Homo-oligomer: A and B are copies of this chain.
Amino acid sequence: MRRFSILSYGFSALLFAALPVLAADQDVIDYREAVMKIFNEQTGALGQIASGVVPDDNLVTHMQVLAMTAQTALKAFEPKVPGGEAKPGIWSNWADFSKRMTEFAQQSAAGAKIAKEQGKDAALEQLVNIADDCKDCHDTYRQEKK
């Protein structure tokens, strides 16, 4: 699947060469949505660990991946390209949005450290704090499409 992903993106890039502005916009949207989907799958996995339905062997790694991906997220939103599920307020309130994203990266990094040093219960407590911030930011800046 990976190879096809890469090939199909390469192919899209060729197609898009004829439509540079539209293509660039869609690429920007695709990229930030890929980043947000990584969060979604990561927190889905962490939610399963939290509720005890899968073992917690990978807890620390999932928390670390969440933290690392959080470092990429702000950059993914830097190009001012409304569309997808992103509300235009992201760019008209960039100072607030970027502050939230930066705090999210900091809280996630703290969560990874807590998971490694203090274990599951403490990590999940931090994860709930992070999830609250996620929800607040989504409520403000995301228009969910079903």
Contacts and interface: CB of A to CB of B under 8 A. Distances in A.
A83 interface: no
A122 interface: no
A42 to B, nearest CB: 6
Q: Interface of chain A, helix or strand or loop or mixed? A: helix
Copies in the complex: 2
Contacts of A69: 61, 65
A127 B52 CA distance: 34
Given A27-B53, A72-B58, A1 B41 contact: no
Interface string A52-84: 111101100110110011011001100000000
A56 B72 CA distance: 11
Nearest to A16: B53
B37 A37 contact: yes
Interface stretch (A7-15, A88-96, A113-121): A7-15
A146 interface: no
Contacts of A145: none
